[in-house]
Amino acid sequence: MADSIAHTVKAFDDDLGQLRALVAEMGGLAEAALGAAMSALVDRDTAAAERVVADDKKIDAIETEIERQVVRLIALRAPMADDLREVLAALKISGVVERMGDYAKNIARRVPLLLDTGGIEPLSILPAMARATRDMVAAALDAFTARDADAAVAVCESDRVVDDFYNSLFRALLTHMMENPHTITASTHLLFVAKNLERIGDHATNVAEMVYFAATGAQMVERVKGHGWHEGAS
């Protein structure tokens, strides 16, 4: 009996490890897509942008595989408590990461529309905003892998950096459009790019909140916007 239980536990741990690996792979692809989309934008590289759009199918395929494995794992292993929370967190996180990939794809699709952005000075802010956003995504996924609640809280707190970038860029582009009406179309597309980055940051905080719940069983509730977090009732 003891050997049977040990075998079952090991089989579950193996399944859970495979699930974590799939989430990590999916997250890595989404993070890379964001970096490639921004590089394509800065370099005005339409071929690279097209590759980002095409590669989004890989992210979608991994999400489908995660969904299949979660259903199988719950049906065969009937996980309880902490294990069940982690399995469900992996399922939810895969959905959020898929949306991050979609935002990266949306940025790439705007590259052909932004081939002529010379003279738009606020464009220089976007790469720094993208780096801050990628850092959030990477930290959120690392927190999931490590089941690190404190790291998850740090991700949520860092969202203000991305929000500050977005607000600064919004004001700069608005001013630029008023002073240079001929740049309105390109500046509007850049605003959409910035909004996509801001939304990816928001999704990184969603991942972090799921990680926190999976690790602690408590919800991470915003106490006062921009002034820290505290635990709430689950």
The structure's pTM equals 0.87
pLDDT band at 149 (very low <50, low <70, confident <90, very high): very high
> Which of 20-29, 79-88, 121-130 shows the highest mean pLDDT?
20-29
- Residue type for position 77: R
Q: Give CA–CA dist 175/169, Å, rounded.
A: 10
**Across-strand partners of 222?**
229
pLDDT band at 9 (very low <50, low <70, confident <90, very high): low
In sequence order, what DSSP letters do the residues of 52-118 get, joined into one string? HHHHHHHHHHHHHHHHHHHHHHHHHH---HHHHHHHHHHHHHHHHHHHHHHHHHHHHHTGGGGS--T
The closest of 96, 220, 225, 204 to 155, measured between CA atoms, is 204
pLDDT band at 120 (very low <50, low <70, confident <90, very high): confident
The chain-wide mean pLDDT, for the chain, equals: 87
Paired sense of beta strands 219-222 and 229-232, if any: antiparallel
109 against 226, higher pLDDT: 109
